[in-house]
Each structure stands twice: as C-alpha cells, then as structure tokens.
Chain A
Amino acid sequence: MGQSISVRDLEAWYGSHKTLKGIHMDIALNNVTAIIGPSGCGKSTFVRCINRMHETMPGTKVKGEIILDGVSIYDQDPVALRKRVGMVFQKPNPFPSMSIYDNVVAGVKLNGMTQKHKLQAIAEKSLRMAALWDEVKDRLNYSGMSLSGGQQQRLCIARALAVEPSVLLMDEPASALDPIATMHIEELIRQLKADYTILIVTHNMQQAARIADSTAFFLNGELVEHGPTSDIFTNPSDKRTEDYISGRFG
C-alpha cells in the first residue's frame, strides 16, 4: 500500500490569520481518513489545500508541499489537478440551471466530451455508485433542485465521481442532512473506498469512528495526532486528543 498523499510543512493563511501551522501528514491509498477537531481548527482549510481550492479565495496564501502520487500539486495546473481530486461540500450545491442528468455529466461535458452514449453511460455509472440511480432514473431531466437535501448531496457525489478522480475530499458532507440521509452517505463512503482515497472532514466523532480507517485530530491549525481510528478513539497518545474525544472541550 503506497502513500497516496504526502503533506510536508503545510502552512496556510486567510489574510493575516494563519489557519495551518506546519502540517506533516501521510495519507494512505484506498483508505478513508477522517479529519476531526473543533470549529476553526483548520480542518476545512486543510482539505481545501489538497485540491488547491483554498487559493481561489482572495487574500489567501499557502506554503509548503503536497505530493500526490509522486508529483507536487503546486507543479500542476490547478484545473487539471481538480479533475484528479474531487470534492463534495458541506451544503449540497447542485447547479440550479441544470437537470439531474446535466449536473452529473457537467464535469466531463464542459471539459469537452460530446459523445452522447458515453455521457449517458457515465451518468448511469456515477449515479449507481452514488446509490441514487434507482430514485432518479425516471426523471433525469428534472431540475437538480427538485431533489431532497440528501438526494442532492448524493447527486453532488455522483457529479464528483463522474470526472473519475482518484482522491475524494468531503467537507462535512452529512452535516446538513437528517440521520437517514447521513446513513446513506456513510454506507456510500464505505463502498467507495475500494476505488478512492477519501478524506472526510467531520464534526461528528461517532461518524469518524464508524467509517474511517485512520483519523487525524487537528487543533488550532496543528495536527495533534494521526493514526488508526481505533487507536485514536481508544488509546490516544496525546492528552489533548483524549480531552477532545471524551468531550471535555470542542
């Protein structure tokens, strides 16, 4: 099992506020890695650095190195990088002007694929992977906004999968959803890890314990501890991790 992502000395700023203070982290291939920590600890910023979304905000700055499959992401074109590193956001954000079908194929279609039968195959495959196909197969040309919140989020996952990335970043993907929709998404993540390297930011420690192979605890822009999920939750080596997971703060 190779190292899929290596993060070295990663520092990030919002204006003058330093949100990441030198992160060292190795993320394994075909694993689910959960990023936990209290609000404002830099966990969202961390995943947004991996597909270089952090830099799209005005006034931001990044330093350090992230190596993806042996190549620095900063030596790559960000637009090309994002085809390999997909992202699912906290709030479902389907494109309002597009149908369910157009939402799923947006990434491939707007990047030049025009063959209809290929697009249809991609749409079906992605929607099946996102466990949404059976619910929407009869209304693919309905607006993406006509779906429920949980369905919209699975639509966004299907949309990210359609581009065939190798890494999937998920920034609190279930925090806006009800428990049943959350269960669907978690089941999905368990199935997806066979083909994808998944990083999931979560506020919910039970969720991290349920789905993640390894867990990283962030605090005040630093990586406090990173290890197998069972170790982090049962036998943390750092006092601060123990305090956080036992609910003493955060």
Chain B
Amino acid sequence: MNDRLRNYRNWMMLSVFTIATIIALIPLFGVLSYVVKNGISALSLQFFTNLPKAMGLSGGGMANAIVGTLIMVLIASLLGIPIGILAAIYLTEYDRHSWLSVGVRFATDVLTGIPSIIVGIVIYTAVVLKMGNFSALAGGLALSIIMIPLIIRSTEEMLKLVSHSIREAGYALGISKGKTILRIILPTAAKGIITGAMLAVARVAGETAPLLFTALGNQYWARSLNEPMASLPVQIFQYATSPYKEWHQQAWAGSLVLISLVIILNLSARFAFRSRSN
C-alpha cells in the first residue's frame, strides 16, 4: 500500500516536471519557428550582397548592416576580451582579497545586470557628443563595456576551477609566477575561457539599445570607423517600426540572420566546452 502511494506520488511529480519543461520550451521554439517562417521567404542572395533600397524599389538587402554588426562586434571583442581576461587574471591570481578586488568584483556584478540602454546613453554623452558625430567606434566601445563584466566573471570562474595543486606544481619546478600563469594555468583553463568569451560575443551581437545612441545606423557603406555604421539589430528595429510591408519582410530576414549568428556562436561555444570535459 505504502509502495503504491509512493509510486503514485513519484509519477505525479515527474508529470509536473515534464509539463513545466514543455511550457518553458514553447516560447523558445515559438520564437524560433516564427522567425524562420517569416524570414526565410525574404531571404535571398541579394539580401547578403545589396544595400538597402529606397521604399518601392525591390532587391534591397542588408549587406552593410551584416558587415557593420561584424565590424562593431570585432571592435568590441578586441577591446573587451583582452581587458576582461587580464582583469580576471589580476583578480584570481594576484589579488583575491584586497579592497580593489572586492570593489571590482562588486562593480562587475552590478554592470552585468545594468540595462544596456544606459551604457548607450553614457557613451553618447561621453564619446559621441565630445567627438561631434555618431560612429562605429563609439558603437564598438559601448558593446565592449557590456562585454567586459561578462568576460571577467566567466574567466574568473574558469581560473578558479584550476586546482591550486597545479599552481604549486609550477612554482615547485622553479617556474616564475608569471610563466606559471601564462604557460600552465591559462592553457588549462583555455577552453572554458574561450567558451565564456564566445557567449559574451553572442550576447552583444544582438544588442540594439547601446547602438542606437552610438553607431546610429546608416543606409550606405560607412567609409571609415569614424562614421555612423549600420548594424543588424538597429536596421531590424528601424524596418520593423516602419509602415511598409516590404521593410517588415526585410526585418524578418534580418532577424533570421541575426538569430542564426547568435545560435552558431552559442553552439560552437558549447561544443568547445563539451570537448573539454571528455
């Protein structure tokens, strides 16, 4: 009797968990399938090769926005990944407990949770107004500021996973602390650090708000990094809020490209992590 009751309860709870999981998955697959369904019809080779065309002309694309996103994410990565990793090395290897480390760790926690539009406004005030124009550089800078705390945190966690005995083994061989970090600890944590960096890249690739105030957007190719530059999220935002049906179509196609980019980055990050645990 007791066993039957226990089995029944067990079955009930399992059903509850399963249903909750399915409910959680509905929005994810809903969004994905909706974007694929609407985006795939507007997707063509021209979408990847052409500039946006004026309303009423067919065959427009988002080539400049795709390249713009890649360029600004690259700028953000060049700034954010080294700074984030180096700061994390300082926090874990050199100075775990001082007020500076505690302060930086607190600040990164706060920054991770800050709405990205605030980063956009700050860069707008501090850089765009000072330089006198919107630019790709300001856009990349805003994205890097969102990236840095993410990378500090993920790198720190990965470095902490490297056992203390590995550090001691390095020191005991008469290897200096710097070389132990560079040649032994970093390679040991490398896959995890790369995974964290890729997830941070994927996260900023889809950011719209910080770019609205910094890179602004551009219907043409930007001739330098000091000019306004188009990006997928901003282009999607502008097209989706326009009253034209063709532009809505283009926004769907842009969404599909952006979501694919983020999924590819995410999957490759997870793949890198899986091969680490084997």
Q: Shortest distance in angstroms between B174's beta carbon and chain A's nearest beta carbon?
A: 3
A residues whose Cβ falls under 8 Å from a Cβ of B: 51, 53, 56, 58, 79-84, 86-87, 89, 91, 93-98, 106-107, 110-111, 156, 159-160, 163
Distance of A99 Cα from B251 Cα, bound (Å): 50
Residues of A within 8 A of B86 (CB): none
Given A58-B96, A110-B179, A159-B169; 17 other pairs, CB 8 A cutoff: A53-B172, A56-B171, A58-B97, A79-B174, A79-B175, A79-B176, A80-B174, A82-B173, A87-B172, A89-B169, A93-B168, A97-B188, A98-B187, A106-B170, A107-B173, A111-B175, A160-B173
- Verify B168–A56 contact, CB threshold 8 A: yes
A95 touching B175 in the complex, CB below 8 Å, given contacts A89-B165, A89-B168, A156-B169: no
B190 interface residue per 8 A CB criterion: yes
Interface residue count on the B side (C-beta < 8 Å): 20
Residues of B within 8 A of A107 (CB): 173-175
Distance of A182 Cα from B173 Cα, bound (Å): 23
- Verify B175–A93 contact, CB threshold 8 A: no
Interface string of B179-199 (1 = CB under 8 A from A): 100011001101000000000
Q: Shortest distance in angstroms between A151's beta carbon and chain B's nearest beta carbon?
A: 16
Q: Shortest distance in angstroms between A200's beta carbon and chain B's nearest beta carbon?
A: 15
Residues of B within 8 A of A106 (CB): 170, 173, 175, 184
Residues of B within 8 A of A80 (CB): 174
- Verify A93–B179 contact, CB threshold 8 A: no
- Verify B169–A95 contact, CB threshold 8 A: yes
- Verify B166–A86 contact, CB threshold 8 A: no
Residues of A within 8 A of B188 (CB): 95-97
Residues of A within 8 A of B21 (CB): none
- Verify B173–A163 contact, CB threshold 8 A: yes
Q: Shortest distance in angstroms between B188's beta carbon and chain A's nearest beta carbon?
A: 5
Residues of B within 8 A of A156 (CB): 169
Residues of B within 8 A of A87 (CB): 172
Distance of A83 Cα from B170 Cα, bound (Å): 11
Residues of A within 8 A of B168 (CB): 53, 56, 89, 93
- Verify B169–A86 contact, CB threshold 8 A: no
Interface string of B82-116 (1 = CB under 8 A from A): 00000000000000110000000000000000000
